Amino acid sequence: MKALSQRRRHPLAAVALLLLGLLVTGGLYAVAGNVNEAKAQTTNFSAQDIEEGEKLFVANCATCHGIGAVGAPQGAHGNQAGPALIGVGAAAVDFQVGTGRMPMQMSGPQAQAKPNQFSEEQTMQLAAYVASLGAGPAIPEEDLLDVAKGDPAAGGEIFRVNCAMCHNASAAGGALTRGKFAPALAGVSEAHIYEAMATGPQNMPVFSDANISPEEKRDVIAFLKTIEEQGSPGGFSLGSLGPVSEGLLMWTAGLGIVIAFTIWLTQRSS
């Protein structure tokens, strides 16, 4: 027992335990990475898709996001740094590249939507490569995008509780701080709406399946598509910004009427 106690107090014991812990942790991480990569190749994307996606990434994305998507301290746009993409999943790539937000056109508070730089096949290949680097949200299946199976009423309630404070109750968008904004959601595809909720691009929070289930996300999409089809039910929409724009219009119109009536009275008295 005394000899065992002495070996435990040996100066190198702590170093040996640290090295053993690092070895075990690294081994488990390597196994998990191989499992994720194998899953991406066999269940979602082919090895050729991943290979072609890597070529596209190196040629178009690595300048900002680094080789291997590990991130870069400074991107190609001045001080715009590209974050690491390991673990963001295929859904994030499909949203950012599919909406034209990436690659960024210019540095700014947030990336803005623009015409796509890549075809659908190239976007899928980029998504395949990033997905092979680590597990993350996948591109949603068609069943989860079928608005006919969704409940617009339930989706409207979810939207008003979780989304309306930024996107407006009618999904018309709204301003945020420091030049950022929540975009209008009219004309956005079902897949991109779902992917935005699942990945939380830019200023948007991530709504995981634990927060909003896949079926509830479908309900939200059904609600957005319903109000998009209905349009303005009557009168001027005034940007669908609610009581602020309506009150401003009434105040301006009322003040104009008072001024005009005052001028008319003064002219008659003279």
The pLDDT tens digits of the residues spanning 56-105 come to 999 999 988 999 999 877 544 444 578 899 999 999 999 999 999 999 88
Model pTM score: 0.71
- Same fold for the pair 15-139 and 144-231: yes
More reliable by pLDDT, 210 or 41: 210
> Would you say how long the chain is, in residues?
270
- pLDDT on residue 23: 74
Q: What is the pLDDT of residue 175?
A: 87
Q: What is the pLDDT of residue 3?
A: 53
pLDDT at position 264 is: 85
pLDDT digits (tens, 9 = 90+) for 214-247: 999 999 999 999 999 886 655 666 665 566 667 7
- Rounded to an integer, what distance in angstroms lies between the CA atom of residue 59 and that of residue 36? 24
**Helix and strand tally (H, E) in the chain?**
11, 2
- Can you give the pLDDT at residue 59? 94
Q: What is the DSSP letter of 201?
A: -
Q: What's at 167, amino acid-wise?
A: H
What does the pLDDT look like over 126-172, one tens digit per residue? 999 999 999 899 999 999 999 999 999 999 999 999 999 999 888 98
Please check the confidence at residue 5 and state whether its pLDDT lies above 60: no
For residue 45, the tally of other CB atoms under 10 A from its CB is 22
CATH classification of 144-231, choosing from 1.10.760.10, 1.10.510.10, 3.40.1780.10, 3.40.640.10?
A: 1.10.760.10
CA–CA dist 189, 172 (Å, integer): 15
CATH architecture classification, 15-139: Orthogonal Bundle (1.10)
Q: How many CA atoms lie within 13 A of 91 on its CB side?
A: 22
Angle between helices 214-230 and 152-162 (to 10 degrees): 100
| Predicted local distance difference test score (pLDDT) of residue 168 | 87
pLDDT digits (tens, 9 = 90+) for 21-64: 767 676 665 555 444 433 333 346 899 999 999 999 999 999 88
- Measured CA to CA in angstroms, residue 185 lies from 57, 126, 174, 217 at distances of 28, 25, 11, 14
Check whether 2 has a pLDDT greater than 80. no
**Predicted local confidence at residue 253, as pLDDT:** 86
Domains of the chain, by residue range, sit at: 15-139, 144-231, 245-269
Q: How many CA atoms lie within 13 A of 60 on its CB side?
A: 17
Q: What is the pLDDT of residue 33?
A: 47
